[in-house]
Structure 1
Amino acid sequence: MAKINIAVVGPSDSVALICDVAQEKADKINILPFIYQDAPEVPDIIAQNDDRVDAWLFSGKVPHMYALKSNKTSKPLLYIPHTGSSLYRVLIQILYIERLEIDRISFDTFSAKEIEETFTDISLDMPEYYTNEYSGTISGEELTKYHYDLWQDSKTSIAVTCFHSSFRKLKQLGIPAFRIWPTRSNIRSMLSTAINKVEAARFKGGQIAIHHIVIGGYDDFVREAASGYDAKRKELQLYDILIKYTEAVKGSILMHDNGRYTIYSTRGSVEEVTKSFTTIPVHEDITQKLAINVSGGIGFGQTAHAADQNAHAALGLARQAGDGKWMVVLDNKVALGPLNSAVHIKYEIRCENKDVRKLAEQLNVSITTINKLIAVFTKLENKVVNADDIALYLNITTRSARRLLGNLVDNDFAELVGEEGVGKGRPRKLYQVLLNKLVALVK
């Protein structure tokens, strides 16, 4: 198997340490080191180098957050966590190498619980301490100011930071500053995790992919054509468009009777061309150039039979979603779609959870609808919704959506929180769905 290319991103000293540990796995991996001055550089590093990389490994939590926020790669993103063992090492350095007294100290990145447990575990008296347990992205400059202000106000005498840039600046300002380093054991663990994730992705990438594509309402399509010849010309035009797509996914295509086509390929190629199952590149050509209703279902599996079953299931879901829609069903019975749609969601189509079945009966809907609802509310980040929102995502009538939201309210899974005026007619009711309660029940 080809070696795995792992990008290591961070400040120079951390990258050097990770690269040194990675030599132990030189038979399996190639390391591509990328050094930055500060974490906001991460999105540009990814954008310029993603095509060379199988997985990204970051020196800490903050560069990892910048990578996630940038959404510039579908490759695995991992980081070296700073754990209690990292704290032990810096405390030993302060106490036994520098021989400083720990009475007032500032930290960043670590939670108060982690700090208190560390002091308790090594039987040290708890000093007066401060910690900046930030969430999301933060710059080295912000953390430098945090530590410096505490020191200037005589609230602390020592600063402990996970940021290389903050460490350097604090030292220049004359503050007794110490750097948290990733431990070799944590580096080994995350390198192994990165290898496993890439190998799993390569295994999945080799799965069989089958597309079932049909011209919707084929009898009407033929009847409305100017002639039988005109209908055949349109089918051949569609075939030509699909051949280009088939070439892109490195597959093969069969043209059947009655406006049906089948494409065979592999998951890895399809995932790349469809941008992780979010778009069908030929969709615009089909809808605008041919102006015909073409639905597609893409299925994956370890065997041709499994992939074919999932492709048929995906095609059925696509037809349910409306004219000209495309859906995907993965090997684990998770559906994604519609592709090329603002209402794209990901949900399970099979469920063996008794609580989900009970909830479906309670709300008088299908299990799939329950899974769709959770996917919709998660995508909308649990914002306030109205019946039109739900109708759009679930492809149901507004009346059915009102009934569903009413059932959620009656069963204490949603609350009526207000109304909004929409011109003439009755105001639309606004609902807050209690997502945490729903998720807790179905897990």
Structure 2
Amino acid sequence: MSSMSSFYRDLFYIPVDAKGAPVAYFCGHSLGLQPRAAFDAAQDVLDQWKAKGVDGWFEGADRWMHLEEEVSVLMGPLVGGQFNEVAAMNTLTTNIHLAMASFYQPTKKCYKVLVDAPAFSSDTYAVRSHVSLRGYDPDDAIIEVTSCPGCDLLTMEDFKAAFDRHGDEVALVFVAGVNFLTGQLYDIQAITRLAHAYGCRVGFDLAHAVGNVPLALHDWDTDFAVWCCYKYLNGGPGSPGGLFVHQKMIEEGVVPGLCGWWGHDPSTRFCLQEQSIFVPSDGIGGWRVSTPPVLPLALLKASLQVFQDASFDALCNQSVAMTRRLYQGIEACNIPGMEIITPATESNRGCQLSLRIGSDAAAMQQKLQLQGYVCDYRVPDIIRLAPVSLYNTMEEVDAFCDLFADVVRAHGSTGA
């Protein structure tokens, strides 16, 4: 075990099996592990609430009033956002709705939304709801970028072809950063440039990208992005999400489409009965809506401080090395009927690998789990696993590869 892996692994609780032995947890793409510091962070909030009540908002070094901003500052470097471009708030789908209320401004000619396929269901529901609210037929107004027959992955040529056919009608582009099913990392900068060349606003769902791959949203000129924090950021189940809005968008007059009191100018936020006109906070702050959830934010802050203390570049380099080892080890198993659908090219993926196993994928996932290897299954035939450099090790990767072929062959067939 490398010294880096050992040091950061010790900062997390590793789940154990029925016999009390640590499992190999390859499911950070679904829910990250609990930082050891999270328990004390939660206890501190509970103690402050117990001792101070409402004064916990305003008193002490750990007063809650500025917690949301503190978490946002820690999050900024992980997405490449500048101060006042990044906010920790709400949850992912809520932030999609808030972003679309601002950035989806259809006209009679230009009303379509271009998305990637397959998209996560909640993204699809959110996009369809906004299209319907504006009076358009989602089946007409939503353009899916699809791969060629027999292919799982999208290319820039697929995106260009979609723009060639529909670009003059597209008002908004909203795609993933890393596809939830295939693990493919899209070229965010190239897609942004392509969208802007057609005069479109462009945003990204970074749920499977943030904390997984390097991001530079400000430098890439991305208009907006949203993400959750319970996967690679280890913020805990249902933790607050994130929103990025580029400073140029604010300077160009893009404003919050849905407003709430926590997004109001803080200097008059508490003048409740005197304020009937919404005056947004500076920068990203205007998109905040509700009173921040202090307890979940405290857990997220504890996790983000791990990233602050680490070198994210070093973590990414370790992640690339582990994922390469896992990819090569699974390939070497040479299992008939099994396919790694995640790109082989390292620059086109993060740490998630998606394996097409066949009709027995669900049963295979359960067998791996019983052997102490936690991964997950997605219909109809995919097993996903991700070695996370903060708490997984090369030894776990090697052990998985040694076991994997035996488990599949003992099962009898991939069912492909």
> TM-score range with shorter-chain normalisation?
under 0.3
TM-score, normalized by length of structure 1? Answer: 0.25
Q: Which structure has the greater CA radius of gyration?
A: 1
Higher relative contact order (CA 8 A, sep 6+): 2
TM-score (norm 2): 0.26
